[in-house]
Structure 1
């Protein structure tokens, strides 16, 4: 039950960061030349330097689109395998699940999910599904998967606040720890990201995050390993579990995420995301 709750919270967390995706038509206006950028503080500058190392959103957007295989496995052995397609302008998203033991598992056979820039849609074995409960999960999954893939670049999105916390050494690696929070509407509590930026590589090796919408103030820890794909550093290997604010993880088993066969510039068009 604990693992299932954590999974639910993870999906909702990232979808909450993207609850306005339905109205997104153009790329985020976040990219500014370094000599013209006025940093809010040291934390903001460190995040900017990180995006210059991995590739910022403009570099990602120049790739036009991406296709890749998404594999997600929970400690109970249940697995999702999806062929993912995104178009960066408009943040369009498509996923074809050939295996979905965690996502809409009650639907047997192939499922397809999409966001075409205006609406979310779902197909089961080629037939349109209009069930509101299933579509609500699609509205979670599509922006969730997109956000995971583009998160490092989107850490410069408008509306984010940065705070430099401290320098800390873990396993002989020195990290600059930066707290990132999101602007709140109606004074509602928002989630916290605590980035561990490797002082040598300028990469986020791991980060802590909360799920405030569900009253979860204790963090979870995500660890990542990167791969250079056509000049963009992508965290293709991920694992996460419950933690504390010192980044000491719990005894829970890891949840594993793998991205493979990543290809940019596939000449995708809006028609590829229509139902």
Structure 2
């Protein structure tokens, strides 16, 4: 065999080996990809869990909140009888630190005149009235409830992916010509007999939670839930439910003729450079 034939033969063998190697690597790659997809899929408890995850990707997950570092906004709470709270809220997302300056507090601590401040610095809850520290335990109980609650409402959509939550897909339903997936979310809290329950109505088209039913275990609102309706606003790349209203309901989302309790978030500013010192009393 002359040198030309030898070269061609060697060249063909090399090409054949490369083809075999490519097929092998592609096969391994596909197997790894399939394995990874299976692992990702098995991370979800069920369809309900997967729907909640998709929702957090639409509004912006907790990582996006952490990237923003902090928020300052105005929280307005209006009851049907006209009582109003107007609060400057501040949160540090890492550590869930919370502060509220009650410039108007007709609903919260109406017996106190002037500025009321509440805070949680990561380890201690505190209360001030016109700059003076209050140590009344009965008043501090309200702080222990308000600070985590207000923080949770602001970050709820993101925190629905927290560890320790249980998800149950309840099916779908059409309400006012809108198709919804319904997901029940409960908390697995060790040593606690009852915990809050959320029943989410996830809009199939937008993937957003248009409304949800909720209980407040700390206040024994267990059997008869409230229905919360939401309207969203795009703030710096995050979809936040800035207009909210709620009232008593049933687990079928039936509502009464009672007037709504209304909550709005305005003047929202993310990434203000807050530090832990801003939350100390």
Question: Scaled by the length of structure 1, what TM-score is found?
Answer: 0.85
2:45 matched to 1:40?
A: yes
1:246 aligned to 237, 248, 252, which one? 252
1:210, distance to aligned residue in structure 2 (A): 2.4
Aligned residues: 243
Three-state SS of the structure 1 residue aligned to 2:68 is coil
1:235 aligned to 236, 241, 253, which one? 241
Distance 2:38 2:256 in 1: 40
1:258 equivalent in structure 2: 264
2:273 matched to 1:274?
A: no
Distance 1:186 1:229 in 2: 38
Distance 2:47 2:81 in 1: 42
Distance 2:137 2:107 in 1: 18
Q: Is the 8 A contact 1:211 1:217 kept in 2?
A: no
Stretches of structure 2 that go unaligned for 5 or more consecutive residues are 1-36
Query: As a proportion of its length, which structure holds more helix?
Result: 2
From the superposition, tell whether residues 211 and 117 of structure 1 become closer, same or farther in structure 2 (CA, over 3 Å).
Answer: closer
1:269, distance to aligned residue in structure 2 (A): 0.5
1:226 equivalent in structure 2: 232
1:216, distance to aligned residue in structure 2 (A): 3.0
Distance 2:93 2:271 in 1: 11
1:248, distance to aligned residue in structure 2 (A): 1.2
Q: Is the 8 A contact 1:174 1:198 kept in 2?
A: yes
Three-state SS of the structure 2 residue aligned to 1:244 is coil
1:188 equivalent in structure 2: 193
Three-state SS of the structure 2 residue aligned to 1:247 is coil
From the superposition, tell whether residues 267 and 222 of structure 1 become closer, same or farther in structure 2 (CA, over 3 Å).
Answer: same
1:52-105 deviation line (CA, Å, top 9, x unaligned): 000000011110000000000000000000000000011000111110011111
2:82 aligned to 54, 73, 77, which one? 77
Three-state SS of the structure 2 residue aligned to 1:210 is strand
Q: Is the 8 A contact 1:218 1:244 kept in 2?
A: yes
Distance 1:34 1:56 in 2: 22
User: Highest CA radius of gyration, 1 or 2?
Assistant: 2
Distance 1:34 1:259 in 2: 40
Question: Which 4+ residue blocks in structure 1 deviate beyond 3 angstroms?
Answer: 33-37
Distance 2:134 2:252 in 1: 44
Q: Is the 8 A contact 2:186 2:197 kept in 1?
A: yes
1:246, distance to aligned residue in structure 2 (A): 1.6
1:207 equivalent in structure 2: 212
1:212, distance to aligned residue in structure 2 (A): 4.3
Three-state SS of the structure 2 residue aligned to 1:142 is helix
Distance 1:148 1:127 in 2: 28
1:121-179 deviation line (CA, Å, top 9, x unaligned): 11111111111111111111111100000000000000111111111111110000001
Stretches of structure 1 that go unaligned for 5 or more consecutive residues are 1-32
1:168 equivalent in structure 2: 173
Distance 2:196 2:113 in 1: 35
Distance 1:35 1:257 in 2: 40
